Each structure stands twice: as structure tokens, then as C-alpha cells.
A and B are shown apart, each in its own frame.
Chain A
């Protein structure tokens, strides 16, 4: 059974810092990996999707990498802003089906 872990569980940084969020998964037979953002009391917004054959994806200040063989992904946020404060969730889709397995999330706070 796939298990997804995110480290750290919470992170507080001053505005302007570059930061890295980590995601690890136990079964490397994944179809894709997706990073989401969730604001308090809200639904999920898709940030980046990485196919199993890809190494990284970029969108603006966000860069996500994937090392499938080692079961790891990182989300890099450059020049963090207070508006980046949210919970970031990593989710993997296995080759076997359509369901997503989510990590526990990283709660990020960027202080002005």
C-alpha cells in the first residue's frame, strides 16, 4: 500500500526566503505526482503535476522535482511571500488505479 510522507509538517520563514518542501513515497510505481495548495477552510488548488517520466516541472516561482527511483519529490518556492502561506499537499497516483494518495501536508507561514 502506497504511503506518502511530507517533511516538515510545519514551517515558518521570513518573507523573501527560498524554501524546500519534501515529499517521499514508498512505492515507486507511480503514474504521476501532484502538488496542491490548500488555504484554510478551502478546497485544493493544483500547483504542479509531474509525470513519472519527468524530472521536474516549473511554474513561476515554483519548481517541483521528482526522483522516482528514490521515492522523493521536492517543491522549491523561490523568494517566498506572505501570500504563499498555506498548506502544501503532495499526492501520488499509482499505476494500478486512479486514486490519489496524499501526504500529511506542510503548513507554511511566511512572515512579512
Chain B
């Protein structure tokens, strides 16, 4: 299994500001995923981050709004830029297990934008 930590666990931010969320994994992984869970909704994939290459974004998500860094095989950041109240969500980091089967999730970052 993989143990994933995220920082911050929660934050309250003002409209127009940006927040960077950190994700740290206890083992080296090829692919890291960022998901968003809006209030009362299920999870939606934002992007897939591979070390050494540009992140791949899903439909509806763009790099200018959600820039991602993947400097090494155990760490990634997601920035939520120019925030609006509609960005209030839980943001979750995820990785695949060694067998590339089971997927593991971090505890999430709960973001509230006022």
C-alpha cells in the first residue's frame, strides 16, 4: 500500500488568491492523480501528473487555472489559481499501487473560498 499525506488539510481563502496543495507519497510512483470533489458530488479527475513531463488535464480543466508540478517520484503540487467560491471543494491526491491496480488516496484538502 501507499501512504499519502497532503498539506494543508483545510484552508479558507479569499476570492482572487491562489493556494498550493502539496502531496507527498511514502514510495516512488510513476503516476500521480489530482481529483476534485465538489460539495455533495463524487470525484472528478483534474489531471494526471508524471514526473519529468507536463501534466495531462481532463476536459474542463486547464493548466492556467490548475498548474501542477511533479519535481520527483514522491511529490506533487496542485495550485488553485485566482480562486472563486465555485472552487470550494475537497482536492484529493491519488497514486496507483505497485501493481498498478489498487488506487490509493490522500486525506484530501478541504478548501473554502469566500
Residues of A in contact with B (beta carbons under 8 Å apart): 32, 34, 36, 41-46, 49, 51, 89, 91, 93, 98-100, 102-105
Contact = CB atoms under 8 A, between A and B. Distances in A.
Contacts of B83: none
Contact of A98 (B41, B90, B92, B96): B96
B107 A42 contact: yes
Nearest to A105: B42
B48 A98 contact: yes
Nearest to B109: A43
Interface in B36-68: 41-45, 48, 58
Interface of B: 4, 31, 33, 41-45, 48, 58, 90, 92, 94, 96, 100-108, 110
A-B complex: 4 closest residue pairs judged by Cβ atoms: A44-B105, A43-B107, A102-B42, A102-B43
Given A89-B42, A89-B43, A104-B42, A49 B108 contact: no
18 contacts: A34-B103, A41-B90, A41-B110, A42-B107, A43-B92, A43-B105, A43-B107, A46-B102, A46-B103, A46-B104, A91-B43, A93-B103, A98-B48, A99-B45, A100-B45, A100-B103, A102-B42, A104-B41
B22 to A, nearest CB: 15
A67 to B, nearest CB: 20
Contacts of A105: 42
A44 B41 contact: no
